Amino acid sequence: MRLRHKPWAKEKLMQYPQYVIQNPEDYKGEWTKAFSNENPIHIEVGTGKGKFIVGMAKANPNVNYIGIEMQDSVIISALDQLIEAELPNLKLLNIDGSNLRNIFAKDDIERVYLNFSDPWPKNRHEKRRLTYKTFLKLYEDMMEDGGEIHFKTDNQGLFEYSLRSFSEYGLLLKFVSLDLHNSEFEGNIMTEYEEKFSSRGQRIYRCEVKYQIRG
């Protein structure tokens, strides 16, 4: 489905600097200042319309969240939810996820969420997958030692590829579900895509992996 362009979205995003960080590079290495506390920071790369990240921020007030989405016509929906909920522990970044190295320093982040990322199914596009080894190195470079990636998808091929990629990189597997909604996992917060896919009876795959502490 074609994305509906909202020409007014960029201006509205700029009107709420308390929620949408306009110059994220200024906080590199000092993201605790953006929240005025020392709580751990979790980010979602590709936050879409924000259902997941807003739900997580509501459920976990002692964790700080950052939702990252490059399309302003999409992230504006997350902003609308944030304005209504008035959540002090959630910030939004309207940026391309490939720019993360310019924004986060080592130890800034405790956890990365990847939800229903583009599978890029063709082999020649492997390097664009958010679970490709160069992205895994990128996440590691901005996370605390022992940081985690939590990954969800409806795409079996991407899930199998990601498990291999995680293993080859040396990540430790903490949790895996081949059918999340028919498992005993508790506390799942769905994304917009997850609601749509699961309502059609599609299986949802989920895993949690952890970076090893390197000496």
Active-site residue identified among 26, 96, 118, 145 = 118
Dihedral over Cα of 46, 166, 188, 201: its sign: positive
Q: What is the 3-state secondary structure (H, E, C) of the chain?
A: CCCCCCCCHHHHHHCCCCCECCCHHHHCCCCHHHHCCCCCEEEEECCCCCHHHHHHHHHCCCCEEEEECCCHHHHHHHHHHHHHHCCCCEEEECCCHHHHHHCCCCCCEEEEEEECCCCCCCHHHHHHCCCCHHHHHHHHHHEEEEEEEEEEECCHHHHHHHHHHHHHHCCEEEEEECCHHHCCCCCCCCCHHHHHHHHCCCCCEEEEEECCCCC
- 118 assigned to active site: yes
Which are the catalytic amino acids? Answer: 118
